[in-house]
Structure 1
Amino acid sequence: MNKHARIYVAGHRGLAGSAIVRALEQGGYRNLLLRTHAELDLTSQAAVESFFHEERPEYVFLAAAKVGGIHANSAYPAEFIRDNLAIQTNVIHAAWKAGTRKLQFLGSSCIYPKLAPQPMPESCLLTGPLEPTNEWYAVAKIAGIKMCQAYRQQYGFDAISLMPTNLYGPGDNFNLENSHVLPALIRKFHEAKLRKEPQVVMWGTGTPRREFLHVDDLGAAAVFLMQRYSDDAFVNVGVGEDVTIRELGEIVKTVVGYEGEVVQDLTKPDGTPRKLLDVSKLHALGWRARIDLREGIEQTYRWFLEAGAGARA
């Protein structure tokens, strides 16, 4: 990408999108096209086509999506499949139609079967049933991958797809109703510390294993792959290492400085038993994650404290 290229980051205020913006700015890219939801509703086909017709971005990072944890996916299945299908369909089609040189679509590791081999290679997509607690989001993301492949095959559109693992970091969602596990734990332990509560309750058995990628590593990988990768096949983006949810809780507990007891609520769902990406393809391309989990959680907690009430909305 030329340093002066017109680059549109869809979802630039979100966790992934804001990290991509930081990575681009650090790389010297200054001609960034950024629109808030109030300025551009990506679920509106007419609005999206008008934006692309007027602005003609040369490169597009499609990081906009409706996201959430187990509770949100279970409570709002229609919104998760409808909004995500609309966003990606509108942006991919409008980008191709407007002559965008290259588009990058961000998916999610939840696209893989619930009982996929571990670590999960890209080849295991569509080889088994999805995890029921997030299938609506997963189906939408699978459709996005296939749309990128279809537009490449039929129109020669240079559209690539990345599948990030669980992301965390500055700008995360700490709302206990719809956040993912790591920010939810940071907030839970922080508030329990302030209130001097004797225990913190964590969902499930604590035995599921998860991989966590700092969002600034994701931003660096996204820019790296936009510059150096062009292929029909999508690429896993992760660390290649995982921890149990219980182990994650212990790290957060230590970082926050909470001194009470941790209790597991066995009536709550665990979700997928394990989610670890096979990142051998990414490593072979020349990129590896750099931010250690403990270091990343410490940085995220500092951001949470500095953000104050804004992080707890």
Structure 2
Amino acid sequence: MKIWVTGASGSLGQELVRSLKATIPDAELLAPSRSEIDLGDRESVRNFVFTNKPTHVFHLAAKVFGIAGHKEQPAASLIENTLIDHSIFSALLEFPPRWVYYSSTVAAYGYPYKSIPIEENDWLIGNPHESEMGYAFSKRHSLSYLEMLHSISETKFVYGLSTNLFGSGDRFLEGRGHVVISLLEKATRIYNSSDPLEVWGDGTASRDFLSTKAAAGLLIDLVDKHVGIVNIASGQQIFIKEIANEIAEVFELDGGIEFVGINQGITSRVCSTEKLEKFTSFVKEINSKQELWGEIRNYKENRFPSHS
């Protein structure tokens, strides 16, 4: 088994590489960095695939702009992510692997949702929410590559609609970061001050959060299975207000919390895990709130060890 992981330096990629080494130690692991291969360069990607001929691929790489970034730059998000996927799938169609995992996003679901929790059969009903449209359309398109691979070469695939992820390897990008790391960085900046923790929206929005560690466990359980489209999620709802309150308590913020009303986004997004549970029992062991609260405490202890 020769496994290629794209986006191995990202939050999920780092966790997946660690988990693969621990659970499939005999596999040859390919996790080239950006300096080693430009995923937007079709010829560079083709040469890599031709030389290495991976049997299994976890395609996690993407250009993620965050809520504000996707809203401000929908065309850039669409074009950059489409180019990455085109380079990779052009090579894989020429040198087909046995199995592919593609990391899509629940942002690709049509909005408003047909039902909550959202189910895989409904994901193409309507257009994605305007705040995520460019990114979402690029992800929708890549299903056609996977279906072509399966049709021509019988390549098994999992098209994973990933929910909101959090983890120790997440990166903060001012105004464009994921919600958990963004709030943690804001709390770090105002620590030992009287400033309030500013939170986008009004706090009533909720999401289905999943740790990168749990996500990596799910992905490894799906290796060699032909699943098709499936939610990679916990199925557990956590409100933004709950997260803000927990951060304010753990960091002992004197200024409290201030909801600023901007970038509210989608009010509620929780995923059905009924289909996922048919392929892995691990999802039933996940406790996202417990893991998230632990991540908040660990983050604070790492940043302010003498005050913990």
TM-score, normalised to structure 2, is 0.91
1:159 aligned residue: 157
Number of the residue aligned with 1:241: 236
Task: Kindly indicate whether the alpha-carbon contact (under 8 Å) linking 1:109 and 1:165 is maintained by their aligned counterparts in 2.
Answer: yes
Q: Is the 8 A contact 1:170 1:304 kept in 2?
A: no
Q: Which residue of 2 aligns with 1:225?
A: 222
SS in 1 for 2:184: helix
* Aligned position for 1:186: 184
The SS at the match of 1:234 is: strand
Aligned mates of 2:216, 2:93 — CA distance in 1: 23
Matched residues in 2 for 1:301 and 1:96: separation?
A: 45
Structure 2 residue 19 is matched with structure 1 residue 23 = yes
Structure 1 residue 300, shift from structure 2 partner: 5.4
- 2:196 aligns to what? 199
Equivalent residues of 1:169, 1:300 under 8 A apart: no
Local SS of the residue matching 1:104: strand
Give the superposed CA RMSD: 1.9
Q: Which residue type is aligned with residue 278 of structure 1?
A: S
Q: Which of the numbers 268, 271, 274 marks the counterpart of 1:280?
A: 274
| Partner residue in 2 for 1:94 | 91
**What residue is the counterpart of 1:113 in the other structure?**
110
Which amino acid in the other structure matches residue 205 of structure 2?
A: P
Write the distance in 2 (CA, Å) between the matches of 1:305 and 1:175: 21
Paired positions, count: 300
- Do 1:113 and 1:126's aligned partners in 2 also have CA atoms closer than 8 Å? yes
Contact 1:186 1:301 in 2 (8 A): no
- Taking the aligned partners of 2:123 and 2:75, their CA distance within structure 1 comes to 23
How far the C-alpha of 1:74 sits from its partner, in A, is 2.1
Residue matched to 1:43: 40
Q: Map of 1:126-137 to 2, 5 A cutoff?
A: 126-137=124-135
Percent identity, aligned pairs only? 23
Gaps of 5+ in 2: none
Do 2:96 and 2:153's aligned partners in 1 also have CA atoms closer than 8 Å?
no
Cα drift, residue 304 of structure 1: 7.0
Summarize the alignment of residues 259-270 of structure 1 with structure 2, pairs less than 5 Å apart.
259-266=254-261, 268-270=262-264
Compared with structure 1, are the counterparts of its residues 55 and 305 closer, same or farther at alpha carbon in structure 2 (3 Å cutoff)? Answer: farther
Alpha-carbon displacement from aligned partner over 1:68-120 (angstroms, at most 9, x marks no partner): 31111123223211111111222123123223111110111111122111100
State the SS of the aligned residue for 1:257: coil
| Corresponding letter in the other structure for 1:40 | I
Provide closer, same or farther for how the CA distance between residues 78 and 129 of structure 1 changes in structure 2, counting only shifts above 3 A: closer
> Residue 100 of structure 2 corresponds to which residue in structure 1?
103
Name structure 1 gaps, 5 residues minimum. Answer: 309-313
- Hey, what does 1:293 align to over in structure 2? 289
- The aligned amino acid for 2:29 is L
CA offsets 1:142-189 (integer angstroms, 9 cap, x no match): 111232123323443323211111000011012222101111011112
3-state secondary structure, aligned to 2:40: coil
2:6 aligns with 10
Report the CA distance shift for 1:307/1:161 in structure 2 as closer, same or farther (over 3 A): farther
1:238/1:201 CA distance change after superposition, 3 Å = same
| Alpha carbons 1:10, 1:64 under 8 Å: kept | yes
Q: Contact conserved, 1:122 with 1:235, CA < 8 A, in 2?
A: yes
Contact 1:40 1:47 in 2 (8 A): yes
Q: Aligned residue for 2:136?
A: 138
Assess, with a 3 A threshold, how the Cα gap between structure 1 residues 297 and 86 changes in structure 2: closer, same or farther. Answer: farther
Equivalents in 2 of 1:41, 1:135: separation in Å? Answer: 25
